[in-house]
A and B are shown apart, each in its own frame.
Chain A
Amino acid sequence: MILNDRKFLVLAAMSVMFLALAAAFAFNLWGRTPPASPIPLADPKFVDTSPSRVAIAEFIRKGGDPSDYDCDICHEKNKPIKIKFDAENNIILPKEHADIALSHGSHKRNNNCYNCHDEMNLSLLQTRDGKQLKLVDSTPLCGSCHGPTYRDWEAGVHGRTSGFWNRDMGEYSRLGCPSCHNPHSPKFPGREPAPGPHALHPVAKAPAHNEAERNHE
């Protein structure tokens, strides 16, 4: 009888122990800390590989209406328009061209339309050495001032090269200057950064560079 009771006690104790264990697992008593909050999926715009802007050549190739770029609708050929400047030597754009923000270079010397556009035929561009180029072939014109950058671009090193690094295995493509830079204000505009790393658990934040930015988070 003594032996039987001991067995019973041991079995009962083990059952209680295992039940407690099962309950502990079920209610995650010491288990993983649940993540702080669900992580939203990244916006597909952040994985979009299309270039920063649509160049005119690309716009026409994709079937866009090129009549906006037909200067002869308003301007007459061979009759150059006089460009007006204010007292501080800033260009005064007519209201028809109010959408252009001309800030090409930090100085004010590049404020003349005819530095790039052909004054006799506004549908064309002209280089400083008098060569005429179509609007869609502007890259050599940019290169006439930005020599080292143009050299890099020709080597495939300035701007993105897409497709195949191994030219034997497939095609590659290059972008022209206006696919990334607005010719009238070539500096990259600021853009929203994609979300940064997410901590697995809430962690103490690293010291910030400035408080305002940290508060923004």
Chain B
Amino acid sequence: MTSNSPCSSGGCAGGGNGNGGMNRRSFLRTSGVLASGIAALAASLAPLRDLTDYTSAEQFMQKHYKELSKDDMEKVLDRITREVEKQYSIRPHVKDYKPMDGVEFVYCLNLTRCIGCRKCVHACVAENNQSRDPEIQYIRVLKMPHGSFDMEKGDHNYASPTVPEKGFFYMPVQCQQCKNPPCVKVCPVKATWQEADGITVIDYDWCIGCRYCEAACPYFARRFNWTKPSIPKDRINPEMSYLGNRPRKQGVMEKCHFCIQRTRAGKYPACLEVCPAGARKFGNILDPNSEVSYIMRNKKVFVQLKEELGTSPRFFYYFDV
């Protein structure tokens, strides 16, 4: 029995040798092992240093987008401005664009005219500050054989020397801005929702990166930042919006948002502005004089992609003849 020993509780380092303390040798040995242990622990935690790139305390404490007051939003925009300036040495103009009254956006794409040049893909990347390496592209252009709408036959890796190729048509696919969006339903944290003008948006500060929305989307329209996005400083677009093209961080989802920073300021989206064939048309479907309303009335608007799923896209494909 050791009931009379002062070290019985196990609290003394040199216990058991009868000196009632630690001798020099065991002290050196213990402290040496402890020091190397702590150093090893610190070294093994090195990857955590990257965490500072993910979230600042300010961002962590931030409320949900819909609960932010005007003052809160100003502070948030200020934080984003500082973060972008620190990372990309460029002072951005970050705004929180709100939907306009009496506006519902619709996109129409003319399959007769599209030549498959993929300029829209890259105009989108440039406008919306997508990561360049790895490159995140919101638009996929499917090369499809004439006479079929079988998506299984679509090829989006075509690299022919010139387009268009005989016997094929080209179908760009991007976020369809569904009226009944499955991606919104599955989000466990309400980080993505549909706005009054029909744009489904993502709050990148609220997204937890679970990728449920990516799995739910029947159009493969959502992209995940698997790695830290990399954008050369001279390719940053400084006109930014909170729900749109501000730089994202690793571990969040992103997707086409109809260029919120352009369209909610009255402009056409970037993919439309670059189209050399004039195949892309965009506008307010609630305005009977808009181009998209003309198309709905006069053209063979024949497909909402995978309409049998009941997602009811706001993105329409049509033919000229």
Once the chains bind, are A26 and B46 in contact (CB under 8 Å)?
yes
Once the chains bind, are A35 and B16 in contact (CB under 8 Å)?
no
Q: Provide the bound-state CA to CA distance between A191 and B136, in Å.
A: 24
Once the chains bind, are B46 and A25 in contact (CB under 8 Å)?
yes
> Does A145 touch B at the CB level, under 8 Å?
no
> Does A196 touch B at the CB level, under 8 Å?
yes
Segment from A67-75, A105-113, A163-171 that makes contact with B: A163-171
Once the chains bind, are A52 and B266 in contact (CB under 8 Å)?
no
In the complex, what residues of A have CB within 8 A of residue B277's CB?
A: 180, 188
Once the chains bind, are A164 and B37 in contact (CB under 8 Å)?
no
> Does B89 touch A at the CB level, under 8 Å?
no
Q: A4-B15, A194-B122, A195-B118 are in contact. Are A38 and B133 (CB under 8 A)?
A: yes
Encoded as 1 (CB less than 8 Å from any A CB) or 0, chain B from 269 to 289 comes to 000111111101111100000
> Does B303 touch A at the CB level, under 8 Å?
no
In the complex, what residues of A have CB within 8 A of residue B41's CB?
A: 14, 18
Once the chains bind, are B276 and A51 in contact (CB under 8 Å)?
yes
Minimum CB–CB distance for A48 against chain B, Å: 7
Segment from A77-85, A89-97, A130-138, A206-214 that makes contact with B: A206-214
Minimum CB–CB distance for B40 against chain A, Å: 3
Once the chains bind, are A1 and B37 in contact (CB under 8 Å)?
no
Interface size class of B (residues with CB under 8 A): 35 or more
> Does B111 touch A at the CB level, under 8 Å?
no
In the complex, what residues of A have CB within 8 A of residue B188's CB?
A: none
Q: A49-B273, A163-B267, A165-B282 are in contact. Are A41 and B232 (CB under 8 A)?
A: yes
> Does B21 touch A at the CB level, under 8 Å?
no
In the complex, what residues of B have CB within 8 A of residue A41's CB?
A: 132, 232, 235
Once the chains bind, are B267 and A8 in contact (CB under 8 Å)?
no
Q: Which chain A residue has the least Cβ–Cβ distance from B281? A: A157
In the complex, what residues of A have CB within 8 A of residue B15's CB?
A: 3-4
Once the chains bind, are A188 and B145 in contact (CB under 8 Å)?
no
In the complex, what residues of A have CB within 8 A of residue B320's CB?
A: 152, 158
Q: Provide the bound-state CA to CA distance between A52 and B119, in Å.
A: 12
Minimum CB–CB distance for B119 against chain A, Å: 5
Segment from B55-63, B80-88, B151-159 that makes contact with A: B151-159
Minimum CB–CB distance for B279 against chain A, Å: 9
Segment from A57-65, A117-125, A197-205 that makes contact with B: A197-205
Interface set, chain B 126-168, CB cutoff 8 A to A: 126, 132-135, 137, 140-141, 143, 145, 153, 155-164, 168
Once the chains bind, are B119 and A157 in contact (CB under 8 Å)?
no
In the complex, what residues of B have CB within 8 A of residue A8's CB?
A: 29-30, 33
In the complex, what residues of B have CB within 8 A of residue A180's CB?
A: 276-278
Given contacts A22-B40, A209-B143, 20 further A-B contacts (CB under 8 A): A4-B14, A11-B30, A16-B40, A18-B43, A21-B43, A21-B44, A22-B46, A47-B123, A155-B298, A157-B294, A160-B275, A163-B268, A165-B268, A188-B277, A193-B117, A196-B159, A197-B135, A200-B134, A200-B226, A217-B159
Residues of A at the B interface (CB closer than 8 Å) are: 1-4, 7-8, 11-12, 14-19, 21-22, 25-26, 32, 35, 38-39, 41-42, 46-49, 51-52, 152, 155-166, 168-170, 175, 180, 188, 190-198, 200, 205-206, 208-209, 213, 216-217
What are some 28 contacts across the A-B interface (CB < 8 A)? A3-B10, A4-B14, A4-B15, A8-B30, A15-B36, A19-B43, A21-B44, A39-B134, A39-B135, A41-B132, A42-B125, A157-B295, A163-B267, A164-B268, A165-B282, A165-B291, A166-B284, A180-B277, A190-B163, A190-B164, A193-B163, A195-B159, A196-B141, A197-B140, A198-B134, A200-B226, A213-B160, A216-B161
